[in-house]
Each structure stands twice: as structure tokens, then as C-alpha cells.
């Protein structure tokens, strides 16, 4: 099933009008003192929870991300805006009210 | 009455393997009852005498990628390290058919990869050189030769992306994917491996830097060694332990047409049209290759790609116009940035093993990956064959050069 994303300019549109821009990773780490390893980790490594329970020892629930993912999209076949929205990888749907960021 | 009991006995005899009682502790637990997990269990028991093994499968064996791929097998990868692994994997189908005493229906029809640009022709030339250097049969064809191999191809200038070259790989073919799952389950169970279906992993237990067990929907199970071999769901399992991976689980779609008389005697695929297709032994054209670019754990199929696939197929092979698609489905592909897998041991915790990131090469590599992962888990020493597939290559900017072997799968790269 296809689904719709909320473009901040155009409203709800078919997902195939958009280009996926990846998980929101926070600001790029400061270049000063950045090791190559830290840089590659920031570029490529991700946690993509699948709704499994958390491990009990050594990690509190707060340490573990919820499956919901904040991510970038580009409305290439529409107004051309880049924006962030929240989607649930378990259902492959935008979270209600998640768009338009 | 006698007839009925004879029928019951016959059915009993036909069972390939039987459910086992769930023990509270195993030496080795493997998460994922697909080709990789079952092959690892099989080789642990067969080659290393480790029989106290449980394979945990959250649905039924072969539910995931193992039963959703297009069943194509080949060894024409791009880099020498990968060609070596896949070549051994390709040679295993015949061996396993014999060893498991189960017909895996290996149809050695050969595959033809089509190129539609000067760049892909150059890439094919390099790939063929690598294959030949590694002793794998592969040759570069011109469009006329492509049409001799597959007469239905349109080699004229009419298509939007005319065919410019072909990479012909005779050792490739198709294997019945369900048979591989069943055959490996049969072979593993016969050697004492317990296969537990409907057993959903919900937690991983660790103690003092070691993996000690898993929490499942059927209760806690202790173990000394744990293998994460859950295909596209491996990132979700790794996330339980907070392990970040350079893997995107993406939905990939495939479909079959209604059955046709045999006319397509090779697997063919195309770089520019993002298609691979083959005619199954039942006569259907099985085709796929499309990936939705956003990370997700669903197996949603879309009308968008159904249409796209039809357009692409008809461009390449005009005789298919008017043929109807009968079924569409989707599976997960766990994509790494360099299209090569990640096979790791003692990953953060002693006894934790990971075999993931196979993208859409997971089926063809299943048995050979299982063989080497079993060796890794049994000895604790990384086999020479797996040196190229360490996770740390992504932190050292030493990516495998596998990307040119396949199509672009996302938009962010």
C-alpha cells in the first residue's frame, strides 16, 4: 500500500512524489577534534528499532529509542521543499500530526 | 480403517522434521529460521558436532526473505572477495541436494545482465575480468549475441535505454527457495537441532560482557552463543542491545505473471530498468527489483511499482505486452552502504554473532554464509573467508567495492 506524506507547503500528497532523505541525525558533529571513526559513525551507523522489548540489564527504558523515526523528505515532484516528518517504520505510515516540520 | 491408518502413516513418513520440546537452555541459539539461520544450524551440527542448537523463528520457517526472493543464484559479484564467497555458494547447491537428500530444484539456466550505457559496458568488462581471474565463467556479449541468448529481447534503438552490452554468466540459475528452507530444516533437525516456530524474540540477556540468553514469547531461553541471522529484521534485533549498524531495512517488491509456455531459458536483468526476470518451472515470469527508499519493517506492495515493472518488462521484451500479473508481494532487504554483508563475532558482547546486511543477495549466499558462520561460532576464530566482511570497515573508510554489481537502491547516496 502506498501512503501520503504531509508537505508543509502542499499538504498531504502521495509518497512517490517525494524523495527520502534519511533519518534526522541531529547537527553535524563539530569538525574540531573529530576523529575519522566518529565521522563515519555519524554518517552511516543508525539505530532502527523494530518494536522489540528492551534488554533488562544495563539499559533503562529511557536509553532505548522508540520505533518512531524523525526523517527528511524532499518534495521533488511538487514544490521542492525539504522538510522533516515523523514516520513509524513498523507501519510505514506518517504519524498523525508529524509532518510540516 | 486400514486404509485410513495407512494414509496417516504415509503422511507421518512424509514429514521432513518434527517439532521439538522447548528446552530452557541451549548451547547455541540462532534468531531467524530462514536460509542463513537454518544453514548455520545445519553446519554447526554437521561440521562441528554442535547439536545443542535452537533456531528461533517468529513466524514460520522461510517466512521472511527466504520465501520472498526471486530465487536467482549467481556468482558474478564485483569484487574478488565477494566472487570467491558466492562462487563457493553456487557450487554448494548440487552438493546440498545430495547431502540433504532433497531436491532443491537447481535449474542451471545461466543469467544475462544487460547494460544500457557506455559506463555499464565498461563496468561489465571489469567485472568479467574479475570473474575470469577468479575462475568463474562470465563473458561480455554485444547486443546481437544477447539476442541470440534470449531471442525475445528488443535490441533495436526503440527502447528508451537501448541494450548496449550483456554480461553472460552461464553458472547462474534458479533454485527453489522453499525447498532450500525445508531441506536445511530437515538436515538440521535430523542432526538434533531444535526448530521453534512462532517464537518471537523480545529481549536479549547479557551478564558481565557475555550474552546469556534471550527473552521470547515462549519464555526465557539461556545460551552461550547467540546468532542474529534475522535478515531484514536483524537491525531490530540489534537495536535491543543498542547496537547501531550501517544497515537500512528496505521493502523490495516482486511479482509473477500468469503461467506461459516455456520461452525464456535464462535469467535476465537490467541495470537501467531496475528489473530482473526469469521464467519459473511453473511457467510464470517472476520479476522484481524495486525498492522503496524509506526505512521500514513492512512488506507493503504498491500499484506504483506494479505499473513501473510492467513498463520496464515490455520495453525490454515487447512480446510480454498484454501478459497479466497474477500476484505481487514484498520482502525486506537489509542494505549496507557498500552492498556487501556484515559477518561479525563477539560483537560488543562475548558470544554474540551477527550475519546481516545481505541486501538482496541473502538467498544465493545462504548455505555458504551458514557454513562459515558455523565455523566462526564453533571456533570463535574468524575464518579467512570472512575477513572482508567485518563491521569495522565502515569506520575505517575501507568500503567493499561491490556497489557497481547492482542498481542504485536509494536516493540519498
Encode pLDDT of B57-84 as tens digits. Answer: 999 999 999 999 999 999 999 999 999 9
**Is A87 among the domain residues?**
yes
Q: Are B388 and B369 in contact (CB under 8 A)?
A: no
What's the confidence (pLDDT) of residue A101? 47
Specify whether B253 is located in the same domain as B330: yes
Q: For residue A64, list chain B residues with Cβ-Cβ distance below 8 A.
A: 239-240, 242
Q: Write the pLDDT tens digit of every residue in B218-256.
A: 999 999 999 999 999 999 999 989 899 999 999 999 999
**Is B29 among the domain residues?**
yes
Rounded to a whole number of angstroms, the distance from the CA of A23 to the nearest CA of chain B is 9
Mutate to test the interface with B, among A39, A40, A82 (most CBs of B within 10 A): A40
ipTM of the complex: 0.87
Pick from B249, B345, B340, B232: which is nearest to B292 by CA?
Answer: B249
What's the confidence (pLDDT) of residue A99? 56
**Is B13 among the domain residues?**
no
**Is B113 among the domain residues?**
yes
The average pLDDT across A49-53 equals 73
Is the pLDDT at B405 greater than 50, yes or no?
no
What's the confidence (pLDDT) of residue B410? 41
Q: For residue A57, list chain B residues with Cβ-Cβ distance below 8 A.
A: 205-207
Q: Are B316 and B271 in contact (CB under 8 A)?
A: no
The average pLDDT across A21-44 equals 91
**How far is the C-alpha of B112 from the C-alpha of B126, rounded, in Å?**
16
Among candidates B203, B236, B296 on the partner chain, residue whose Cβ is nearest the Cβ of A92: B296
**Is B240 among the domain residues?**
yes
Is the pLDDT at B408 greater than 60, yes or no?
no
Pick from B51, B12, B77, B84: which is nearest to B369 by CA?
Answer: B84
Cell triple for A87: 514516520
Q: For residue B411, list chain A residues with Cβ-Cβ distance below 8 A.
A: 19-21
Mutate to test the interface with A, among B209, B245, B252, B296 (most CBs of A within 10 A): B296
Name residue B25's beta-bridge partners: B222
Q: What is the 3-state secondary structure (H, E, C) of B256-292?
A: EECCCCCCCCCEEEECCCCEEEEECCCCCEEEEEEEC
Q: For residue A47, list chain B residues with Cβ-Cβ distance below 8 A.
A: 239, 242-244
Q: Which H helix or E strand runs over A73?
A: strand A69-74
Q: Are B354 and B228 in contact (CB under 8 A)?
A: yes
Specify whether B182 is located in the same domain as B120: no
Cell triple for B331: 520482502
| Contact (CB<8Å) B203/A46 | no
Specify whether B327 is located in the same domain as B343: no
Cell triple for B290: 524495486
CATH number at residue B46: 3.50.50.60
Is the pLDDT at B400 greater than 90, yes or no?
no
Cell triple for B118: 557506455
Rounded to a whole number of angstroms, the distance from the CA of A38 to the nearest CA of chain B is 8
pTM of the predicted structure, to 2 decimals: 0.93
| Contact (CB<8Å) A40/B394 | yes
Q: Give the domain-ending residue among B335, B363, B394.
A: B335
Q: For residue B233, list chain A residues with Cβ-Cβ distance below 8 A.
A: 50
Rounded to a whole number of angstroms, the distance from the CA of A88 to the nearest CA of chain B is 8
**How far is the C-alpha of B385 from the C-alpha of B365, rounded, in Å?**
13
What are the CA-CA distances from residue A84 to residues A28, B15, B52, B244, B378 (Å)? 16, 52, 48, 22, 46
Q: Does B246 touch chain A (CB under 8 A)?
A: yes
Specify whether B120 is located in the same domain as B239: no
**Is A48 among the domain residues?**
no
| Contact (CB<8Å) A57/B207 | yes
Question: Residue A19 is part of which domain span?
Answer: 1-27+66-101
Among candidates A20, A48, A57 on the partner chain, residue whose Cβ is nearest the Cβ of B235: A48
Q: For residue B394, list chain A residues with Cβ-Cβ distance below 8 A.
A: 40, 44-45
What's the confidence (pLDDT) of residue B249? 94
The number of helices, as runs of H, and strands, as runs of E, in chain A is 1, 6
Q: Give the domain-ending residue among B335, B367, B383.
A: B335
CATH number at residue B321: 3.30.9.10
Q: Are B401 and B340 in contact (CB under 8 A)?
A: no
Is the pLDDT at B384 greater than 90, yes or no?
yes
Cell triple for B368: 555458504
Cell triple for B262: 516455456
Mean pLDDT of chain B: 93
**Is B151 among the domain residues?**
yes
Among candidates A23, A44, A54 on the partner chain, residue whose Cβ is nearest the Cβ of B203: A54
Specify whether B120 is located in the same domain as B234: no
| Contact (CB<8Å) B296/A90 | yes
What are the CA-CA distances from residue B164 to residues A70, B140, B318, B406 (Å)? 42, 11, 17, 17
Name residue B248's beta-bridge partners: B335
Pick from B359, B326, B115, B329: which is nearest to B234 by CA?
Answer: B359
Residue with cell 545481505: B358
| Contact (CB<8Å) B294/A91 | no
Rounded to a whole number of angstroms, the distance from the CA of B337 to the nearest CA of chain A is 8
Residue B1 pLDDT level (bands cut at 50, 70, 90): low
Is the pLDDT at A82 greater than 90, yes or no?
yes
Rounded to a whole number of angstroms, the distance from the CA of B157 to the nearest CA of chain A is 29
Q: Give the domain-ending residue among B335, B362, B387.
A: B335
Specify whether B262 is located in the same domain as B312: yes
Residue A59 pLDDT level (bands cut at 50, 70, 90): very low
Q: Looking at per-residue confidence, does B40 or B398 come out higher?
A: B40
Among candidates A20, A48, A56 on the partner chain, residue whose Cβ is nearest the Cβ of B293: A20
**How far is the C-alpha of B411 from the C-alpha of B413, rounded, in Å?**
6
The average pLDDT across B165-177 equals 97
**How far is the C-alpha of B137 from the C-alpha of B135, rounded, in Å?**
6
Interface of B with A in 308-367 (CB under 8 A): 337
**Is B305 among the domain residues?**
yes
**How far is the C-alpha of B177 from the C-alpha of B104, rounded, in Å?**
8
**Is B273 among the domain residues?**
yes
Going by their DSSP bridges, the two strands B352-356 and B165-169 should be labelled as unpaired
| Contact (CB<8Å) B249/A37 | no
**How far is the C-alpha of B51 from the C-alpha of B189, rounded, in Å?**
9
What's the structural domain count of chain B? 2
Cell triple for B208: 558481565
Q: Are A57 and B206 in contact (CB under 8 A)?
A: yes
Specify whether B234 is located in the same domain as B342: yes
Region of residue B361 (phi > 0: left; psi between -120 and 50: alpha; otherwise: beta)? alpha
| Contact (CB<8Å) A48/B249 | yes
Q: Write the pLDDT tens digit of every residue in B250-278.
A: 999 999 999 999 999 999 999 888 899 99
Q: Are B79 and B401 in contact (CB under 8 A)?
A: yes
Q: Are B152 and B263 in contact (CB under 8 A)?
A: yes
Please compute Rg for chain B using Cα positions: 21
3 state SS of B151: coil
Specify whether B58 is located in the same domain as B183: yes
Q: For residue A40, list chain B residues with Cβ-Cβ distance below 8 A.
A: 394-397
CB pairs under 8 A between A and B: 120
Specify whether B221 is located in the same domain as B267: no
Q: Write the pLDDT tens digit of every residue in B26-51.
A: 999 999 999 999 999 999 999 999 99
Q: Are B174 and B128 in contact (CB under 8 A)?
A: no
**Is B359 among the domain residues?**
yes
Specify whether B254 is located in the same domain as B326: yes
Interface of B with A in 269-308 (CB under 8 A): 293-298, 300-304
**How far is the C-alpha of B141 from the C-alpha of B136, rounded, in Å?**
16
Interface of A with B in 22-81 (CB under 8 A): 22-23, 36-37, 40-41, 44-59, 63-65, 69, 71
What's the structural domain count of chain A? 1
Residue with cell 526471486: B70
CATH number at residue A95: 3.30.2270.10
Rounded to a whole number of angstroms, the distance from the CA of A87 to the nearest CA of chain B is 9
The average pLDDT across B352-356 equals 98
The average pLDDT across B187-210 equals 95
Rounded to a whole number of angstroms, the distance from the CA of B268 to the nearest CA of chain A is 27
Specify whether B131 is located in the same domain as B150: yes
| Contact (CB<8Å) A19/B394 | no
Question: Residue B278 is part of which domain span?
Answer: 108-173+248-335
> Residue A52 carries which DSSP code?
P
Amino acid at each position: 500500500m502506498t501512503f501520503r506524506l504531509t508537505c508543509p507547503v502542499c499538504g498531504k500528497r502521495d509518497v512517490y512524489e517525494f524523495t527520502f532523505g534519511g533519518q534526522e541525525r541531529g547537527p553535524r558533529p563539530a569538525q574540531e577534534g573529530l576523529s575519522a571513526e566518529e565521522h563515519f559513525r555519524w554518517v552511516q551507523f543508525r539505530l532502527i528499532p523494530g518494536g522489540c522489548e528492551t534488554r533488562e540489564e544495563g539499559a533503562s527504558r529511557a536509553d532505548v529509542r522508540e520505533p518512531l523515526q524523525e526523517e527528511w523528505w524532499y518534495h521533488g515532484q511538487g514544490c521542492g521543499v525539504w522538510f522533516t516528518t515523523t514516520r513509524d517504520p513498523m507501519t510505514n505510515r506518517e504519524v498523525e500530526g508529524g509532518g510540516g516540520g | 480403517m486400514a486404509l485410513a491408518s495407512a494414509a496417516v502413516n504415509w503422511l507421518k513418513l512424509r514429514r521432513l522434521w518434527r517439532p521439538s520440546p522447548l528446552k530452557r537452555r541451549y548451547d547455541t541459539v540462532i534468531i531467524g529460521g530462514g536460509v542463513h539461520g537454518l544453514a548455520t544450524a545445519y553446519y554447526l551440527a554437521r561440521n562441528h558436532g554442535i547439536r545443542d542448537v535452537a533456531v528461533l523463528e517468529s513466524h514460520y520457517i522461510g517466512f521472511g526473505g527466504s520465501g520472498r526472493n526471486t530465487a536467482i543464484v549467481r556468482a558474478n559479484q564485483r569484487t574478488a572477495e565477494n566472487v570467491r564467497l558466492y562462487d563457493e555458494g553456487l557450487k554448494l547447491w548440487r552438493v546440498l541436494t545430495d547431502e540433504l537428500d532433497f531436491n532443491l530444484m537447481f535449474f542451471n539456466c545461466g543469467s544475462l545482465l544487460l547494460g544500457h550505457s557506455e559506463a555499464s559496458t565498461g563496468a561489465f568488462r571489469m567485472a568479467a575480468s574479475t570473474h575470469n581471474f577468479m575462475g568463474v565463467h562470465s563473458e561480455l556479449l554485444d547486443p546481437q549475441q544477447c539476442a541470440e541468448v534470449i531471442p525475445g529481447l528488443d535490441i533495436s534503438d526503440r527502447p528508451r535505454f537501448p541494450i548496449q552490452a550483456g554480461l553472460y554468466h552461464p553458472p547462474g540459475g534458479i533454485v527453489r527457495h522453499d525447498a532450500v528452507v525445508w531441506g536445511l530444516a530437515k538436515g538440521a533437525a535430523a542432526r538434533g537441532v531444535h526448530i521453534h516456530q512462532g517464537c518471537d524474540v523480545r529481549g536479549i540477556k547479557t551478564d558481565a560482557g557475555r550474552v546469556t540468553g534471550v527473552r521470547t514469547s515462549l519464555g526465557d531461553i539461556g545460551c552461550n552463543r547467540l546468532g542474529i541471522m534475522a535478515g531484514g529484521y536483524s537491525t531490530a534485533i540489534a537495536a535491543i542491545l543498542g547496537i547501531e549498524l550501517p544497515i537500512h531495512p528496505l521493502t523490495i517488491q516482486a511479482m509473477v505473471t500468469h503461467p506461459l509456455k516455456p520461452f525464456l531459458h535464462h535469467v535476465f536483468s537490467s541495470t537501467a530498468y531496475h528489473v530482473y526476470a526469469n521464467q519459473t518451472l511453473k511457467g510464470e515470469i517472476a520479476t522484481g527489483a524495486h525498492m522503496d527508499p524509506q526505512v521500514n519493517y513492512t512488506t507493503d506492495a504498491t500499484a506504483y511499482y506494479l505499473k513501473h515493472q510492467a513498463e520496464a518488462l515490455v520495453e525490454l521484451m515487447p512480446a510480454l505486452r498484454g501478459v497479466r500479473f497474477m500476484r505481487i508481494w514484498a520482502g525486506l532487504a537489509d542494505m549496507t552502504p557498500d552492498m556487501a554483508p556484515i559477518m561479525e563475532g563477539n560483537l560488543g558482547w562475548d558470544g554474540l554473532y551477527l550475519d546481516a546486511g545481505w541486501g538482496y543477495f541473502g538467498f544465493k549466499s545462504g548455505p555458504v554464509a551458514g557454513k562459515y558462520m558455523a565455523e566462526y561460532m564453533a571456533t570463535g576464530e574468524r575464518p579467512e573467508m570472512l575477513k572482508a566482511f567485518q563491521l569495522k570497515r565502515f569506520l575505517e573508510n575501507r568500503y567493499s567495492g561491490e556497489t557497481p554489481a547492482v542498481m542504485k537502491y536509494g536516493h540519498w547516496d
